[in-house]
Copies of this chain bind each other. A is one copy, B any other.
Amino acid sequence: MDKSIEHEFHFSRRAQQLTSSAIREILKVTERAEIISFAGGLPAPSGFPVEVIRAAFDKILRDNGKVALQYGTTEGFAPLRHWITEEMNKEGANITSDQILMVSGSQQALDLISKIMVNEGDKILVENPSYLGALQAFSVYQPNYMPVLTDDGGLVPDSITPQIAKDARFIYALPNFQNPTGRTLNLERREKLVSIMANLNIPIIEDDPYGELRYNGTPKPSLLSLSNKLGGTVIRLGTFSKVLAPGLRLGYIVAPTNIIKKLVQAKQAADLHTCTLTQMAVYDVVKDGFLEKHLPKVRNIYKTQGSCMLEAIRKEFPAETKWTKPEGGMFLWITLPEHINSTELLKKAVDRNVAFVTGRPFYIAPGYGQNNTIRLSFATVPEEK
């Protein structure tokens, strides 16, 4: 018996911000086996190093099972935090391991950061369009979104005037192969962004789930490492979802220690700590340089599938169509001729067993954005399809 109490139950104002993700709803439709889906943001399972992960879990449970299965510290497994610190410092981050908090995937980082930084009605700056999951996490805390101008080169730092940025709690940005557009910020824009935000005294949330999936062009310095010379506060989010496997739910936050301290308290109240066993197993996988051998294989999968998709777009789409040419990651962004409504197109596509995501949900407000945009993922569809 389900005693549903829809009509008498009063949810919090916060709960009223929660809606089911438009993308999740579309994905339900596209779970049918015959559908070729370019909709989801699921990494390619062919890139999961299943046997290596299996060996690591087995080793940890064999040698250290009682520790791996006991409660752990909220901050996370110390050797893994130390490993992440060293990796970041190779790239110039210049951090210590007490600046790292392990979290249950980057999504939790977005939740915890909003929780400790955003009061109802506070302004936050976001690229427009931006990552839908981030918008969902932020919206629970009822911010006022201020969209930041983007063009073919990603967000436009010069558009962030003191007036636009006034009293903002942070700016949220994905500098590499942005979700949903696939765009990457060049060095000049990165430096400008860090400098401008430092002058405005507003922290940058640098979300970088895809940075290791670069298959063309040269890597750009992280906003975190640029802040060493240019000043300002950068809170950087990383994850093992795209370099190992997303089902593990393991990510991390890099931040100044006073912010980490508050995030640790927030995480303690939210779920005590992230699975000890998973952290120990992932440390065992990565500690001796495994990713250096593994990542080229993953990048190659995305490069092949991405090229294949670009080729198909060139052939199949109408002449006035524009699209991004990502140097890495999992997504590209299509702008159709203005008279085409991508929602109408999706309905027709699903009838022909093809799915994608319309651009609309990635825009932060009804007044912004275009009806003729599409996000395509080339991550999970093998080349031959």
Contact = CB atoms under 8 A, between A and B. Distances in A.
Contacts of A54: 57-58, 61-62, 65
Contact of A266 (B50, B140, B244, B272): B140
Interface string A1-14: 11111101111111
A301 B104 CA distance: 32
Contact of A1 (B6, B228, B273): B228
Copies of this chain, whole number = 2
A377 interface: no
A201 B272 contact: no
Contacts of A201: 8
Interface string A82-105: 000000000000111011000111
A11 B118 CA distance: 8
Interface string A48-86: 101101100110011001111111101000000000000
A245 interface: yes
Interface in A187-223: 201
Nearest to A227: B3
Q: How large is the interface on A (under 10, 10 to 19, 20 to 34, 35 or more residues)?
A: 35 or more
Contacts of A1: 94-95, 228
Contacts of A256: 2-5
Contacts of A266: 15, 18, 140
Interface in A1-53: 1-6, 8-15, 18-21, 24, 42-43, 45, 48, 50-51, 53
Contacts of A8: 201
B70 A270 contact: no
A119 interface: yes
A249 interface: yes
A247 to B, nearest CB: 4
A259 interface: yes
B265 A19 contact: yes
A163 interface: no
A365 interface: no
B249 A273 contact: yes
A116 interface: yes
Contact of A257 (B2, B13, B51, B133): B2
Nearest to A232: B3
Interface stretch (A107-115, A343-351, A355-363): A107-115
A271 interface: yes
28 contacts: A2-B95, A4-B256, A6-B258, A12-B115, A12-B119, A14-B116, A20-B264, A20-B265, A24-B74, A48-B70, A53-B69, A54-B58, A57-B57, A57-B58, A58-B58, A69-B246, A104-B104, A104-B274, A105-B271, A107-B270, A115-B140, A137-B269, A137-B270, A139-B269, A140-B266, A247-B276, A277-B278, A278-B278
Given A4-B258, A111-B270, A133-B272, 10 more contacts: A3-B256, A4-B257, A12-B116, A12-B117, A15-B115, A18-B265, A69-B245, A115-B140, A136-B268, A140-B266
